[in-house]
Structure 1
Amino acid sequence: MHIWPRFFLLLMCSLVLASCSTVKNAKPWHRIILDEEFTAADATPNYRWADYLAQETRLFAQLQQTLRANPRADAYRFQFDSPLNSLNHSRNWNRSFVLKPQHLRGGVVMLHGLSDSPYSIRSLALHLQQQGFYVIGVRLPGHGTLPTGLLNVQWEDWAAVTELAMRELRRQIGDNSELSMVGYSTGAALAINYALQAQENQQLPQPRKMVLLSPMIGVSKFAALSKGLDLAGHLPLLSDERWLNKKPEYNPFKYNSFTVNAGWQAHRLTKHLQRKIQLAAAKNKLVNFPPSLSFQSLVDTTVSTAAIEEYFYRALPENTQQSPSELVIFDINRNQYFAPITRSDSKELLNALFQPTARNYHLVKLGNRTSETNQISEWRRPEGALSEHETQLPLEYPRGVFSLSHVAIPFPMNDPTFGLEPDEQEFFGIRLGNLSLRGEKNTLVIPADANQRLNANPFYSYMEQRIDEWLGISRPPAML
C-alpha cells in the first residue's frame, strides 16, 4: 500500500474515533438546528420585510422553546433564565430592529458581521436615529440564535435579506429621500455586493453613500480549505468536524463557537466580490458607484487590510460627479515603549499602503504624533496627492492599548458589554470589554488571551464625527 492511502486511512480512523466520543455528548446549541430560519428560497416575489420579521418571530419562539426543553447548568448564554440570555432583556438586540426618527433626514440599512448580531451596530444606529435617519438593523440569517445556525447558511441568504431591507427602506421613506448603507465586516461586503447589484438593476433602491467598518474584502487562505472539512463533516460519525471550534457561549451577542461552513461562506463571498468588482471596473461600471467611507485597523487577524485597498479602493475610478471615497487606517500604537516588542510586519504593511502614489480616493491615517507620546494626529492624503497633511486631534491611545482590532471598530468606549469604560446604566449579564482577571489558570471558561484583544474603539468619537460629515450631518468640532 502506498504511503498516501495509508496516511488517509489513518487520518479517517482518527477522525472517526475522535467524533464517536464527542457527537453524542454535544451540547444542544452544537447539535440542534432551528428549522424556522430564513433562506434565499423563501424570498418569493411577494415576500417582504414584514414577512421576514414574522418569520424571525417564529424563529425566536422556537429558540425559546428549545432552551426551555434543554436545561443545562453550563449553558451560560443558553441557560433559559440567565441574564446573558437576550430573550430575558427588555429589548433583544440579537434580533432585527427598526428605529424611527422624530424628523426624517434619510434612511440607512445597517448590516452586522459574521457570528455577530445586530448588537454590534446598535450604538451607531441609535446615534443615526437621533440625527434623523430611519434605521433598519438587519439580523443576518444564522445569527443571534444558536451557533448551529451557521452550519448550513449560505451567503446568498444574507444577500437576499439585504435586498429585502433596502426595498423596505425605500417603501418607508420614499424614492426622493436619501438612502445609505452601513456595514460591519461581512455586513460591509454585503453592502458592496448590493451596491454593485443595484448598478446593474436600476429597479433596486440605489444607495447614495456607504460606510464600511472593518470591511471583509479578503479573508485568510485557510478559509479556502474549509469546504473539504465541511464536506467531511457531513459523513456519519464525522459531524464534529464541521466545527472549527466549540467554546463556552458566555458572550450574549456573539457566537464563541465557529463552524467550518461559516469560514467557507466568508471565502465564497469575498471571492465573488473581488471578481464582481474587477469585472465592473473593466467595463467602466464603477463610475457611479456610491462614495464609500471605510474605517480599518491596520492590524486585523480577521480580514485582510491589504485586500481592502487592492481589491476595492484601487479599482475605484476618478469620479468627477461625486465626492471621492475615503479609506481611514488606524495605525498601531508606535510609542517607543512598545517598539522593542512590536513585530516589524505592521510597519511593512503601513509603508505598502501609503506609498507615494496618486490615488482616486482620500487616504487617511490615525496614529501617534511622535514616538514619545500616546497623543494622536490625523494624516490626510487627498485624492491625487502624494503627501499627507497632519492635523492634531484631541485623542490618545489609552494606557496599555497597543493597537485597535477587527472587533473593536464599531463599539464606543462606554459600550455596556464591550467598552473599556462601560456605561453602568445598562447591563446585559456580563462586561467583557474591561476585564482584568487574576487568579489560577483553568478556573474560568474565558481564554487567557481574551483579555488581550481590544473590544472597543478609543477613537470612536472621531469615527462618529466623520460618519456624520460623510452623511451630510453638521456638528460642531467641540462635540468630539
Structure 2
Amino acid sequence: MISRLNVLLFTLFLLASCAVPPDSPGFQPSENLPRYDQESFDQYVRETRAWIADNRAFISDDRDLEIQLNTPFELRPDKPAKRGILLVHGLGASPWYFIDIATAMANDGWLVRSILLPGHGTRPADLMLPDNDDWEKIIAHHAKLLAAEVDELWLGGFSTGGNLVTSHAFTDDNVDGLLLFSPGFYPDTHYLFLAPTISYLWDWLDIDDEDNIVTYQSFPARGASLYYHSVSTVQKNLKTSHFNKPVLMTMSQHDSVLDPNATLIAFQNRFPNQQSRFIWYGDPPQHLDDSRVTAFISHLPDQRISTFSHMNVLFAPENTYYGQAGSYLMLENGQDGLAPPDDTNALWFGAWGQSDAEKYHARLTWNPYFYDLLDGIREVTGD
C-alpha cells in the first residue's frame, strides 16, 4: 500500500490536487468500526468476521474467501503452548499476510494470533475511520490477552505493523522479543510530515481498481497520516532507548518504501541483544562488522527476479494467492513505457518501480528464501 506514498505526497505537494473517488461502496466509509476489546480472542474473531461480512465491499464472486482472508485468526499447536506471538499486518493489508509464517510457527509449538487493524478488511474508505489510539489500543489489548495464556510473549509486525509492535514493546515488560518484517521505521520520503495536513484537506491520495482481495489498492489520505504517526512514535523510542531483548529484522536493499540503510544502522545501534539477527536481501552491505547480519542475494536471474520488494518476505513460494504460481499477479508495478507481455513466462519480478528497457517487471510477491527465514526465526527465538 505505501509503495506509492513517495510519489503521491510529492505530487500533492507540487500540484495541490486531489483524487476524486468513483460513486461506489468501496469509496464510502462504513457507519462505524468493529469492537476489538472483547474478553476473549474467539469472541473477537466471531464478531469481527460478522462485521466484515456486513460491511465489506466485495470485489469477487467468492465472498466467503474474501471474508476468510480478511478475518483475524488463531492457530494453536497440537499440545498446550508455552509461547505465543501476536502478529500485526501493514497499512492496507490483512491478517492473512501472516498465514505462511503463522502456520510454520504453530507447527513449531507456538500459539499464533493475527489481528485486523481497525479500518481494514472491508473497503479502502474505512481507513478514514480509525485514529492513532485505535491502533495502539488494539495491540495493547490483544497482547494482554495472549500474555495471560502463555509463559513467553512475542510480537511480530510487517511494515506499519512493525512500527506499532515495536513502540508497544518499549512500554510492555511482558514482551520477550520481536519479529519485524520490513519494519517501516524510516520512510524513504521527505514529504511524510505533510500527511496530517493533507488528510484535513483531501480525502484521497490515490484511486485504483480494487482487484486484490487481501490488500487495498486505493489510498485515503487518512492512512498516510496514521502511518506518519506510527513513524514519529517509533523514531522517538529509537532515539532515546535500546530494545535489549531478541529481535529478528528483515529488509530488502531495494525496498521502494523505506530507507534500508537507516534501518540497518538502527538495528546495530538500538537492538544490542547478541541473539538478534538482521536478514538483508540484496548485495552484502560493505564495511559491515556485525556477525548478526546475514545477506541473501536478491538478483536471481535464473528465477527472473531482479530485486526483492517491500512485501515479498512474508510469503512462501507455494502460497496459493501470492506465491510463484499463485492466483494473483501484481502486474501494475510503477513501470512506465512498457506493456506487460502476453506470455507470463516472460515476466520478470522485482520491487515496485523496478525498470528495465527490455524486461517487464511485475511485483515480486513471494520469498525464494522463505524456509531460510523460518530457520532465522527459530534461531532468534531459541527453537
**Residue identity (%):** 20
Q: Secondary structure at the match of 1:135?
A: strand
Which position in structure 1 is the counterpart of 2:184? 216
Which position in structure 2 is the counterpart of 1:438? 341
Which position in structure 1 is the counterpart of 2:51? 59
TM-score (norm 2): 0.81
> Is 1:301 aligned to 2:256, yes or no?
yes
Q: Secondary structure at the match of 1:198?
A: coil
Q: Do the aligned residues in 2 keep the contact of 1:419 with 1:432 (CA within 8 Å)?
A: no
Match of 2:235 among 268, 274, 284: 274
Which position in structure 2 is the counterpart of 1:36? 33
Which position in structure 2 is the counterpart of 1:342? none
Which position in structure 2 is the counterpart of 1:390? none
Q: Which amino acid aligns with 1:364?
A: T
Change in CA separation of 1:132 and 1:397 when aligned onto 2, cut-off 3 Å: farther
Match of 2:24 among 22, 27, 35: 27
What is the number of equivalent residue pairs in this alignment?
Answer: 348
Structure of greater Rg: 1
Which position in structure 1 is the counterpart of 2:96? 119
Q: Secondary structure at the match of 2:229?
A: helix
Q: Which amino acid aligns with 1:304?
A: D
Q: Do the aligned residues in 1 keep the contact of 2:186 with 2:263 (CA within 8 Å)?
A: yes
> Is 1:93 aligned to 2:83, yes or no?
no
Q: Write the distance in 1 (CA, Å) between the matches of 2:232 and 2:375.
A: 32
Which position in structure 2 is the counterpart of 1:418? 322
Correspondences of 1:251-290 after superposition (within 5 Å): 251-281=212-242, 286=243, 289-290=244-245
TM-score (norm 1): 0.66
Q: Deviations over 1:158-207 (max 9, x none)?
A: 2211112211212223xxx22222211111112211110114xxxxxx12
Q: Write the distance in 2 (CA, Å) between the matches of 1:312 and 1:29.
A: 39
Q: Deviations over 1:386-437 (max 9, x none)?
A: xxxxxxxxxx664321111101110111111111134xxxxxxx43269995
Correspondences of 1:332-371 after superposition (within 5 Å): 351=285, 354-356=286-288, 362-367=292-297
Q: Which amino acid aligns with 2:65?
A: H
Which position in structure 1 is the counterpart of 2:59? 78
Match of 2:278 among 282, 302, 327: 327
Q: Do the aligned residues in 2 keep the contact of 1:277 with 1:312 (CA within 8 Å)?
A: no
Change in CA separation of 1:180 and 1:460 when aligned onto 2, cut-off 3 Å: same
Which position in structure 2 is the counterpart of 1:150? 127
Q: Write the distance in 1 (CA, Å) between the matches of 2:129 and 2:55.
A: 17
Q: Do the aligned residues in 2 keep the contact of 1:412 with 1:458 (CA within 8 Å)?
A: yes
Change in CA separation of 1:410 and 1:34 when aligned onto 2, cut-off 3 Å: farther
Q: Do the aligned residues in 2 keep the contact of 1:36 with 1:62 (CA within 8 Å)?
A: no
Bigger mean CA offset, 218-227 vs 190-199: 218-227
Q: Write the distance in 1 (CA, Å) between the matches of 2:66 and 2:125.
A: 25
Q: Write the distance in 2 (CA, Å) between the matches of 1:362 and 1:218.
A: 21
Q: Do the aligned residues in 1 keep the contact of 2:331 with 2:362 (CA within 8 Å)?
A: no
Bigger mean CA offset, 430-439 vs 184-193: 430-439
Change in CA separation of 1:171 and 1:216 when aligned onto 2, cut-off 3 Å: same
Q: Write the distance in 1 (CA, Å) between the matches of 2:76 and 2:153.
A: 14
Q: Write the distance in 1 (CA, Å) between the matches of 2:248 and 2:47.
A: 33
Q: Do the aligned residues in 1 keep the contact of 2:32 with 2:129 (CA within 8 Å)?
A: no
Gaps of 5+ in 2: 1-14, 333-338, 343-351, 355-359
Q: Which amino acid aligns with 2:225?
A: W
Q: Deviations over 1:114-168 (max 9, x none)?
A: 1000111111101111111111111111111110121232233122111122112
1:251, distance to aligned residue in structure 2 (A): 0.4
Q: Which amino acid aligns with 1:453?
A: R
Q: Write the distance in 2 (CA, Å) between the matches of 1:110 and 1:169.
A: 11
Q: Deviations over 1:207-260 (max 9, x none)?
A: 222111111111122322122221112xxxxxxxx2111111110100011111
Change in CA separation of 1:419 and 1:305 when aligned onto 2, cut-off 3 Å: same
Once superposed, which parts of structure 1, at least 4 consecutive aligned residues long, lie more than 4 Å away?
A: 46-51, 433-437, 447-451
> Is 1:134 aligned to 2:111, yes or no?
yes
